[in-house]
DNA sequence: TTTCTATTGTCTCAATTTGTTACAATAATA
DNA sequence: TATTATTGTAACAAATTGAGACAATAGAAA
């Protein structure tokens, strides 16, 4: 939690506030104790990556997240946050777990992030309270996104899932669980469809599967299985300028 | 949501309160806007059932649920509620979804339940606010449980999943989702183990599978597959006094 | 132009898993 | 002792998956 919407919200407020002790959002708009975090997956052609943000002046890394308005559905809040972060609408989104341990909330970390950005929260401020966080994963087309660094408090960029920096609080655990659920859903949901451009080669599709599962697959078996599922449409060949047979392009039908 | 802990909590309070307008719990102990609901599965030998409670004087049926204390983990709150309802400790419990739509909260229904029990909540009382609910399913041994009817506001009893009464708010949807997730988890988790007594026949195990999946399975294939999984230990035969070969008893190892 | 190389699409046969039928063993009953 | 319903397992067929082989081919090298 604690980013995306939140930072944008802070930005709005800080414009109205004085320089050296900016004003924090009150809890009139957002539900207290409730947050969401999103694990945003993308595939760069080789590696499975997720979007991670870094809070300014802290060296702290976190998942993009935010809060839920009193007047919006939980899922709409998450979509709003994703739109703000990625510019994309109609993102494939799946809720996978809600994290509600007492130990996951850490006022010290929150305070450090706020103070590094010149906010001076009261001791009892709602942002320093306990939060239960509903976690979602999103699948997006890596090439269509220009992640938006936030001039106020953080930058955001892609990290390969096996080269993640240490994340604050329980965010490492959240990523781990997201990846496990993604693996489980690989066969039954449209994971490949949402991580690839609309037309792709069989090899690219296989690479997505291999990146998610973390293991190599047999080429001929994979191809036979995919074609047998009757979910692919074959298009023209893709001439890549390589000295070998050109692969067909496919799309999901 | 809205039962179990809740009713027990009300009971505690009402003992201190006057007869004709009882006192409602304040929000000092529980986190606002956050609830849990539990779908408690049991197997009676033939049918898959769940525990449903009925609010007194309303004809309203609901899932057992409750609220989360500021000082306890989310999961501990659910376990506490289950213990109070079933008397059982160490229950197999799995979180499966969090329901956060605005439309799921219904102050009229809540008000009706409270007033039918002689509580007079203020219009802005926290119990009438919006709630986001984290849903869990539990698997228990049908025979070990004596569901505890609550003398204050509700009774609780088993209903076959295909003979459920209409449930309040989105509780029907919650049950539907629980059942879908249970089906998905049937192979990979210890569903059979937790719905059966420690020793059981192959036929009983098959009946659990059939009840969860909602379809008949082939006896010989089922038996071969289960034995092949290498998760069962064979024990003595069970003589049921029937005029045919006695089946072996098995347990999970 | 011809040869060479890496990759792709498909085929074949073996190995494994699953579907289906058959049948012997057996616990109580008639 | 024969009968009946159910259980455990074997046997074979059908379907799926594993593994290797091979021809087609797009460009590079000779």
Q: What is the pLDDT of residue B19?
A: 38
Distance B188 CA to C16 C1' (A): 21
Give the residue with greater pLDDT, A156 vs B13. A156
pLDDT (tens, 9 = 90+) of chain B, 253 residues, equals 555 455 544 444 444 443 345 566 666 899 999 999 999 999 998 899 999 999 888 899 999 999 999 999 999 999 999 998 889 999 999 999 999 999 999 999 999 988 888 888 888 889 999 999 999 999 999 988 988 876 555 689 999 999 999 999 999 999 999 999 999 999 887 798 999 999 999 999 999 999 999 999 999 999 999 999 999 999 999 999 999 999 999 999 8
Least confident of A72-86, A151-165, A190-204, A216-230: A151-165
- Distance, in Å, from the CA atom of B196 to the CA atom of B253, rounded to the nearest integer, reads 14
Q: What is the pLDDT of residue B216?
A: 95
Q: Give the 3-state secondary structure of residue B170.
A: coil
Range A193-216 burial, b when 16+ CB lie within 10 A, else e: bbbbeeebbbebbbbbbebbeeee
Contact B31 A102 (CB under 8 A): no
Distance B247 CA to C28 C1' (A): 14
Contact A98 B102 (CB under 8 A): no
> Which residue has the closest alpha carbon to C6 C1'?
A244
Please write the tens of the pLDDT for every residue from A181-222. 999 999 887 798 999 999 999 999 999 999 999 999 999 999
Mean pLDDT of A124-129: 89
Residue from A98, A130, A136, A187 to probe the interface with B (highest B Cβ count within 10 Å): A98
Cβ neighbours, 10 Å, residue B244: 6
Least confident of A11-20, A51-60, A70-79, B131-140: A11-20
Q: What is the pTM of this model?
A: 0.91
Range A225-250 burial, b when 16+ CB lie within 10 A, else e: ebeeeeebeeeeeeeeeeeeeebebb
B154-160/B200-201 β-pairing: unpaired
B132-139/B30-43 β-pairing: parallel
Bridge partners of A159, per DSSP, are: A50
| Residue percentage of chain A with pLDDT more than 90 | 68
Q: What is the pLDDT of residue B24?
A: 64
Which residues of B touch chain A, with CB atoms under 8 Å apart? 31-34, 68, 70-75, 95, 97-98, 100-103, 130, 132, 134
The residue written with tokens 């909330």 in the block is A105
Contact B102 A71 (CB under 8 A): yes
User: Sign of torsion, CA B106 B111 B116 B119?
Assistant: positive
Q: Give the 3-state secondary structure of residue B213.
A: helix
| Cα R_g (chain A), whole angstroms | 20
Please list, in sequence order, all residues whose beta carbon lies within 8 angstroms of the beta carbon of residue A148, skipping any fewer than 6 positions away: A84, A85, A86, A87, A156
**Res A234 pLDDT > 60:** yes
- Distance, in Å, from the CA atom of A142 to the CA atom of A136, rounded to the nearest integer, reads 18
In strand D, which positions have an atom below 7 A from any protein CB? 3-11, 17-21, 24-28
Residue from A35, A78, A126, A132 to probe the interface with B (highest B Cβ count within 10 Å): A132
Average pLDDT, chain A: 88
Q: How far is CA A203 from CA A35, A150, A209, A234, B228, in A?
A: 39, 36, 10, 14, 35
Q: What is the pLDDT of residue B26?
A: 66
**Res A19 pLDDT > 60:** no
Q: What is the pLDDT of residue A26?
A: 65
């Amino acid at each position: 939690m604690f980013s995306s919407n939140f930072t944008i919200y802070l930005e709005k407020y800080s414009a109205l506030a004085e320089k050296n002790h900016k004003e924090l959002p009150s809890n009139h708009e957002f539900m207290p104790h409730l947050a969401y975090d999103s694990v945003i997956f993308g595939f760069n052609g080789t590696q499975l990556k997720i979007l991670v943000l870094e809070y300014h002046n802290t060296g702290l890394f976190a998942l993009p997240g935010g809060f839920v308005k009193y007047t919006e559905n939980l899922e709409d809040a998450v979509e709003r946050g994703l739109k703000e972060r990625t510019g994309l609408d109609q993102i494939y989104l799946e809720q996978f777990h809600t994290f509600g341990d007492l130990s996951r909330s850490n006022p010290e970390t929150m305070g450090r992030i706020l103070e590094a950005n010149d906010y001076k929260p009261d001791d009892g401020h709602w942002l320093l309270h306990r939060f239960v966080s509903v976690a979602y994963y999103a699948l997006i087309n890596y090439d269509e996104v220009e992640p938006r660094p936030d001039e106020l408090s953080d930058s955001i960029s892609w990290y390969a899932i096996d080269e993640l920096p240490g994340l604050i609080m329980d965010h490492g655990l959240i990523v781990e669980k997201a990846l496990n659920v993604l693996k489980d859903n690989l066969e039954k949901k449209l994971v490949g469809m949402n991580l690839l451009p609309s037309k792709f080669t069989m090899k690219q599709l296989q690479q997505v599967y291999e990146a998610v599962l973390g293991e190599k697959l047999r080429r001929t078996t994979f191809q036979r299985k995919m074609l047998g599922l009757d979910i692919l449409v074959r298009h023209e060949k893709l001439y890549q300028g390589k000295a070998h047979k050109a692969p067909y392009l496919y799309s999901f039908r």
